[in-house]
Amino acid sequence: MMKYALVTGGSRGIGRAISVRLALDGYYVLINYRSNKIEAEKTLFEIKSNNCNAELIQFDVSNSIEVQNVLSGWMDSNKDKHLEVLVNNAGVNKDNLMVFMTDNDWEDIMSTNVDSFFYVTRQLLQNMLINKSGRIVNIVSLSGQKGQKGQVNYSASKGAIIAATKSLAMEVGKKKVRVNAVSPGFIKTEMTESLNEEELKKLIPLNRFGTAEEVADVVSFLVSEKSSYITGEVISINGGMYS
Ligand SMILES: NC(=O)c1ccc[n+]([C@@H]2O[C@H](COP(=O)([O-])OP(=O)(O)OC[C@H]3O[C@@H](n4cnc5c(N)ncnc54)[C@H](OP(=O)(O)O)[C@@H]3O)[C@@H](O)[C@H]2O)c1
């Protein structure tokens, strides 16, 4: 029987690698994106080239009404299909020293990185509980574990999701829904392309940035039966920078 997964921000960077990986694992993947349809189409093309199945689903994860309308619309037209995997991956950063940080810098990060978790997860959770089957993986960040200067807003958002992961895992474990977080360090994507990799890699014991595919492999493990006794965990993938 076909298994269904939703990957928010599944069109580029880490989300693209997760979408491709889950499709290869046998999932029909709903690839969410906000605005860059060209990149989303490339991800869909890559999945179809591997003879796997997926579709695009456009909505802004930070907009409660949009999330509700689009996802309930999909579920109403696909009543026989159960979205058993949710990867809350969409995220943004707007780095600045706190003393210069504007209300917008704070609010944009909180709405995209934190409110989104609530809006999207709430929408899928009821069916996971009814079906007694669900895996939720939240992509957080090393910044949310150890802090990072210039990222007070981003660190606060990711720390919030780490706490939410642990609480939700306690709420839904009895209904066979597992909730975990994956916490990357420096991963090569558009988000990190302006960083000085040559300098920063000196801080990393494994002496390099990670790849999106390496993060996707951890997600693949966490949604599989191989991790069936793991819930409420934060799995770091940071080349040894922090544990
Ligand atoms: N790269 C790293 O080193 C690193 C490290 C730690 C954690 N992370 C986390 O990993 C996740 C992915 O990061 P990335 O580096 O892959 O980022 P990225 O390359 O910038 O890709 C971001 C993705 O999120 C989507 N997105 C952004 N805002 C959205 C919204 N409001 N609604 C729906 N989709 C939205 C984008 O879609 P559009 O293109 O359509 O806007 C895109 O697919 C984020 O949560 C990030 O915080 C990344």
Answer whether 0.75 is exceeded by the pTM: yes
The proportion of the chain whose per-residue pLDDT surpasses 70, expressed as a percent, equals 100
**Residue 84: which of 17, 132, 32 has the closest Cα?**
132
State how far the Cα of 49 lies from the Cα of 8, in Å rounded to an integer: 21
Amino acid letter, 7: V
pLDDT-derived band at 141 (thresholds 50, 70, 90) equals: very high
Left if phi > 0, otherwise alpha if psi is -120 to 50, otherwise beta: which for 116? alpha
Domain count of the chain?
A: 1
Q: What is the mean pLDDT of residues 8-26?
A: 98
Mean of pLDDT values over 144-170: 98
pLDDT at 150: 97
Give the mean model confidence (pLDDT) for residues 179-200. Answer: 96
How many Cα neighbours within 13 Å face the side chain of 203?
10
Distance (angstroms) between ligand 1 centre and the Cα of 90 equals: 4
Q: What is the mean pLDDT of residues 68-84?
A: 97
The answer to whether position 205 is within a domain reads yes
Assess if residue 100 is contained within a domain: yes
User: Looking at the domain assignment, is residue 243 inside a domain?
Assistant: no
242 within a domain of the structure (yes/no): no
Domain assignment of residue 224, yes or no: yes
Cα(91) to ligand 1 centroid in Å equals 4
The CATH number assigned to the domain holding 51 equals 3.40.50.720
- The closest-lying atom of ligand 1 relative to the alpha carbon of residue 186 is 3
Domain span at 140: 3-237
pLDDT band at residue 22 using 50, 70 and 90 as cut-offs: very high
Give pLDDT, residue 243. 86
Q: What is the pLDDT of residue 1?
A: 81
What does the pLDDT average to over 138-144? 98
How far is the centre of ligand 1, averaged over its atoms, from the C-alpha of 139 (Å)? 9
- Segment 99-128, tens digit of pLDDT: 999 999 999 999 999 999 999 999 999 999
**pLDDT at res. 88:** 99
**Phi then psi for 7, rounded to 5 degrees?**
-120, 110
Ligand 1 — pocket residues by CB below 6 A? 8-9, 11-15, 32-36, 39, 60-62, 89-92, 112, 139, 141, 184, 186-187, 189-192
